Amino acid sequence: MKPENKVNVLECISQEMRDVLQFQLQNAKPQPANSDYGTIRQSYIDERKYWNSEGPEMAKTQSVKIATKYGETETRIYYSQHKTRATLFYLHGGGFIVGNLDTHDRIMRLLAHYTGCAVIGVDYSLSPEARFPQAIEETVAVCQYFHAQAADYQLNMQQIGFAGDSAGAMLSFATALWLRDRGIDCGRVAGVLLYYGLYGLRDSMTRRLYGGSWDGLTQKDLEEYEQAYLANDQDKESPYYCIFNNDLTRDIPPCFIVGAEFDPLIDDSKTLYQTLREHQQPCHYQMYAGTLHAFLHYSRMMKSADQALRDGADYFCRHLD
């Protein structure tokens, strides 16, 4: 699509979303041209420090390294102030190429606080050094470890859930499907919280109309993230990347599906919701008006970001036994 035909997104977003963009612009640091992945990742870590401060206090946090066939995967357990009813695994976003436990620390603290559950952040290996399906397999290994060692960590692993934003939402849903399809018991999956994920659409109306420098989701950007994550062209059709190639007609855990109104990926979320609803699978779709992709990070300034986390927490808790 010619650029002049695209929606002028910056004129449509909410005032609080504009305030975030203005703050980002005023505090932006120059990015070297042709930066390598190490530089890009460090810049992302530095930029997210402000947004991750002032999160709720936990009863405690604990770092645990889990052995997998790929080496050690670092995790961080957030223990809420309440007796935990379940354990929620969190997979961070970042296009599969950036992000870690620190860049999403506040999100995980808020989810632990609002659910009253333990939240375990999984620091899966990033692409392109690690290719599909390594991040999923690492997450499965983490789930199996904590299921086997639940008493050692004072975790309730009888009921679990997955949550994630952007690429992390895809990884969360793909992990839940992986467990189902392979008959791996890590506890009852009581819910999956999917914040503005991508689920395998090759094209869509919103992918054409939205996306720009403000969110790093132009068509070129999306292609680069995919190329970094997948090992080959055949992986594009894998049922754990193109989720719509999986069986979505049976045994799907309750899904809270979140769309950001001016996100080029919102059609992925809408299509997932409509598919699940058509086949009577438990799901709820919630769109947050005036928002851009990644708005969940900005709960220090955006009420809608905090509300989206509260809504997801409420949904998950309603589906616990």
18's CB contacts (< 8 A; 6+ apart) are 10
Q: What pTM was computed for the model?
A: 0.97
For residue 83, the model assigns a pLDDT of 80
Give the catalytic positions in this structure. 166, 263, 293
Contact 200/241 with Cβ under 8 angstroms? yes
Query: How high is the pLDDT of residue 153?
Result: 97
| pLDDT for the residue 79 | 97
Measure the CA–CA gap between 98 and 104, rounded to whole angstroms. Answer: 11
d(CA 83, CA 255): 24
The pLDDT of residue 53 is 95
Task: Return the pLDDT at 312.
Answer: 98
What is the reported pLDDT for 313?
98
CB 120 within 8 A of CB 90: yes
Compute the distance between CA of residue 69 and CA of residue 134 in angstroms, rounded to an integer: 9
The pLDDT of residue 34 is 77
Q: Is 248 exposed, middle or buried (0-12, 13-18, 19+ CB in 10 A)?
A: buried
Could you give the domains of the chain?
12-20+43-318 (3.40.50.1820)
Distance CA 262, CA 206 (A): 8
pLDDT in tens, the chain (321 residues): 888 999 999 999 999 999 999 999 999 888 777 789 999 999 999 999 999 999 999 999 999 999 999 999 999 999 998 888 999 999 999 999 999 999 999 999 999 999 999 999 999 999 999 999 999 999 999 999 999 999 999 999 999 999 999 999 999 999 999 999 999 999 999 999 999 999 999 999 999 999 999 999 999 999 999 999 999 999 999 999 999 999 999 999 999 999 999 999 999 999 999 999 999 999 999 999 999 999 999 999 999 999 999 999 999 999 998
pLDDT of residue 196: 98
Residue 262, CA atoms < 13 Å, CB-side half-sphere = 22
Q: Residue 86: how many CB atoms within 10 A of its CB? A: 26
Give the pLDDT of residue 82: 84
What lies within 8 Å, CB to CB, of 309 at 6+ separation is 107, 110, 111, 114, 296, 299
